[in-house]
Amino acid sequence: MNHNYIIILFFVFFLNVEKTYGCHPTGYDYCTDASQIQNVTFSPGKISVTTNIIQKDAEGNEQYTHALGHFTFGYSKNNKNISVRILKKPVFTNNQHCADKSSDQKNPLTSTWDFDQGLTPPSGTSVGVWLSTYWACNLSDGTGSILCSHEDISFTATA
């Protein structure tokens, strides 16, 4: 097989990865004390979480939650620990698509997620919430990954 042909196939394959498999947020620049969970509420089979990006960009402008991932909540019921996974891998939110931003992004952002209604924490229960926030998602690495600043954060709420 012609050496040039192999190089061209390899190049075309990587150019089409994003078209074929879509893009996804990837943590690139880990930060601390740059984002927070402001509030968490529960209703049967639903969790609403409000996230806030504290860190400003280099020009001092406000930044926005672009994606959430690794989203779990947990509580104790009848001496058993219950853990509910909402998101494993990060997904874009707040009208963000790949590296394309929308002019109507919000900060803070409240998003609501569904889960099995039978796992709703009983009223008055202390609930731990853990998730990763992603922002400044504006650089593609050419393989479908969109590089983002990110932070793992937690919050304790009362259901």
What pLDDT, in 10s, does the model give residues 80-118?
999 999 999 999 999 999 988 888 899 999 999 999 999
Q: Is the pLDDT of residue 9 over 70?
A: no
Helices and strands (DSSP H and E) totals, the chain: 1, 9
| Residue 87 within any structural domain of the chain | yes
| Residue 37 within any structural domain of the chain | yes
pLDDT on residue 10: 42
| Residue 6 within any structural domain of the chain | no
| Residue 10 within any structural domain of the chain | no
| Residue 121 within any structural domain of the chain | yes
| Residue 28 within any structural domain of the chain | yes
β-bridge pairing 67-77 and 91-92: antiparallel
In this structure, how many other beta carbons lie within 10 angstroms of the beta carbon of residue 81? 8
pLDDT on residue 44: 98
Mean pLDDT in residue range 16-27: 65
Any alpha helices (H) in the chain, and if so which ranges?
A: 3-21
| Residue 17 within any structural domain of the chain | no
User: Which CATH number belongs to the domain containing residue 101 in this structure?
Assistant: 2.60.40
Mean pLDDT in residue range 26-55: 95
The residue type found at 112 is T
**25 backbone dihedrals φ, ψ, rounded to 5°:** -70, 145
Structural domain range at position 80: 22-158
Q: Is the pLDDT of residue 145 over 70?
A: yes
Mean pLDDT in residue range 12-32: 67
Q: Based on the structure, what is the number of domains in the chain?
A: 1
> What confidence category does residue 19 fall into, taking pLDDT thresholds of 50, 70 and 90?
very low
Q: Are 96 and 66 in contact (CB under 8 A)?
A: yes
Q: Which long-range contacts (CB under 8 A, 24 or more apart) does 11-16 make?
A: 14/142, 14/143
CA 45 to chain centre: 20
Q: Is the pLDDT of residue 138 over 80?
A: yes
Task: State the maximum Cα–Cα separation within the chain, in Å, rounded to a whole number.
Answer: 69
| Residue 4 within any structural domain of the chain | no
Q: Are 121 and 77 in contact (CB under 8 A)?
A: yes
The more confidently predicted of residues 45 and 3 is: 45
Q: Is the pLDDT of residue 54 over 50?
A: yes
Instruction: In whole angstroms, give the CA distance from residue 69 to residue 137.
Output: 14
Q: Which residues pair with 83 in a beta bridge?
A: 74
Whether omega before 108 lies within 30 degrees of 0, making that bond cis, reads yes
Mean pLDDT in residue range 28-36: 92
